[in-house]
Amino acid sequence: MIREDVARAARAAVWARVIGLWDGTWPRKQREEVLRETPAFLAHLRAGAVEVQGDLPGGEVHPWDCALNIDRSGVYIRCPGLILRTRGEVPRTAVEAALVELRSRARAAGAVVWRDKFVTRPAPPDLVGIARDMVRAVRAKLGDLDLAAALRTKEPASASAAAALAALEAGNWAATVRCRPTSKRDRLRRGDMEFGVNRNTVGVLIHDRNREVSARIFAARAPRSMRPAFAAAYMKWYKRIAAAALEAALEVSGA
């Protein structure tokens, strides 16, 4: 059996990679590849059927230290000083169950993952705090959102935009965050923030003097207790977006 902190970090790395697939930036082909390759790895982790290559550190391995990678050698978790790979076999039913769970986004609500170039991993506590601050600030401004201006894109996607806005309102949002990790949270100037709607997500931007922090907010599967609130918010935003899109189309046509 691998050490509990390492196993916990590895499981979090799997979920972070999968949750990061849903923010609208991954091509469908790459998304399907990850969803095809990852369930078996998660099933092995749960069964303890993994091997550690390298040396275990003396201190605790944190979730944000580890990331799931897929290359020609297969699927593996890379943490500081070590790599985790699968060994042996696990029941096919365990792999199928893991696939269903990963596709459902069941654990994504409230999750914050950190995208550093091409690597997606669990966000460290300071970035989680930043993302939650951003969500709170945007929720307070939802009533002032100019949908007619926000939806001027080549391919407006009413359903995905409505889902993201409803998730912000109801609370079943998830986020991917990009930033320079050396910056300190207490240096952020929260007044320099703007947000808008694009085809797949609600984009939230925070600036300070030295760098940029951005978060993509998208809808996760709502827990059962949140589903009525999310459904009501979704219908409200879908109608508003459809009305704004119709108004823009009429303006273009001169009607």
Among 15, 76, 74, 73, CA closest to 50: 76
pLDDT given for residue 188 in this prediction: 47
Contact 113, 97 (CB under 8 A): no
How much is the average pLDDT of 156-163? 74
Q: What element of type H or E holds 214? A: strand 212-219
**What SS3 class is residue 197?**
strand
Q: What is the DSSP secondary structure assignment for residue 103, as one 8-state letter?
A: H
Residue 176 to residues 18, 33, 55: CA-CA distances in angstroms?
11, 19, 30
Q: What is the pLDDT of residues 24-53, one digit of tens each?
A: 778 788 888 888 889 999 999 999 999 999
Identify which has the larger pLDDT, 154 or 26: 26
Spatial separation of the C-alpha atoms in residues 73 and 248, rounded to whole Å: 50
- The residue type of 237 is W
Among 82, 78, 76, CA closest to 56: 82
Residue 108 has phi, psi (to 5 degrees) of -85, -25
Helix axes 158-170, 227-253, angle to 10 degrees: 140
Residue 235 to residues 102, 141, 246: CA-CA distances in angstroms?
26, 19, 16
pLDDT given for residue 206 in this prediction: 64
Spatial separation of the C-alpha atoms in residues 56 and 3, rounded to whole Å: 9
Greatest Cα-to-Cα distance within the chain, rounded to the nearest angstrom: 70
Q: What is the pLDDT of residues 165-217, one digit of tens each?
A: 899 999 999 999 887 655 554 444 444 566 777 655 666 666 554 456 788 88
- The residue type of 80 is P
Q: What element of type H or E holds 101? A: helix 92-104
Percent of the chain with pLDDT over 90: 39
Pairing outcome for strands 50-54 and 67-71: unpaired
pTM for this predicted structure: 0.83
